[in-house]
Amino acid sequence: MTANKRTFMVFMGPPGAGKGTQARILQEKLGLPQISTGDLFRYNLKNETELGLLAKSYMDAGDLVPDEVTIRMVEERLTRADCAPGAIFDGFPRNLVQVVALDEMLADEGGLSLVPMLTVDDDEVMRRITGRRICRTCGAVYHVEFNPPKVAGVCDIDGGELYQRDDDKADTVKNRLYVYYKQTSPLVGYYFAKELLAEVDGSQPPAAVTADLLAVLAEHGIAPG
């Protein structure tokens, strides 16, 4: 690894594992932006863009948005100046087509540096997803029980209203888990074979997960700047 190599990581794990929570914490510590395709789709939906309206039906069903639009959205995001030092991908790639597309996007950058995988069992995933609340204004993530805001229903950061994502309701969650196991979990084997995978016990409290992630990153030469 050269001194000025950009650092790109993919956070893997089932929906609700805590990828977004940890990516938001680490983006501050590491100076790497979080690229969450789910957040990007929700932002587009809120602003009623063509992309947001297209994504809506897939998101409501818990299915993947078509690869072509998802990949184009990520390519565009990577052209922004904040990606100069690299990025943390969260929720992308989600299938083998997207994996290959990401490899191509990063071919001139020496590829990914690491793929941390947050392991959490299905019962805990259900508890985390059904209790998740999101700020309408800034997208900050809370949990009614495990990570509650100071005032119920109100974002600590900006006072925004907290809401439950439509796709976090029990029926859609089951399909999202099905899609994860069928389409996304094979990527774990792909990254394992490339010697990029680093498993972290995601079932611990958030601060312990952050500490383990930072330790694994340090082992691979990725440290807070």
Binding site for ligand ADP (CB under 6 A): 13, 15-21, 128, 131-132, 141-143, 146-147, 204-206, 209
CB of residue 156 to ligand ADP, shortest distance in Å: 12
Omega before residue 93 within 30° of 0, cis? yes
62 binds, among ligand AMP, Zn ion, ligand ADP, none (CB under 5 to 8 A by kind): ligand AMP
77 binds ligand AMP (CB under 6 A): no
Phi and psi, residue 196, nearest 5°: -110, -15
Stretch that binds ligand AMP, among 36-44, 46-54, 147-155, 189-197 (CB under 6 A): 36-44
User: Is there a catalytic annotation at residue 165?
Assistant: yes
2 DSSP 8-state letter: -
Answer whether 23's CB lies under 8 Å from 90's CB: yes
Distances (CA, A) of 148 to 102, 133, 134, 154: 35, 9, 11, 10
Handedness of CA 119, 35, 26, 192 (dihedral sign): positive
Known active-site residue 182:
no
Residue 29 CB, nearest distance to ligand ADP (Å)? 16
Q: Give the binding site for Zn ion (CB under 5 A).
A: 135, 137-138, 140, 155, 157-158, 160
User: Which residues are the active-site residues?
Assistant: 19, 94, 132, 165, 176
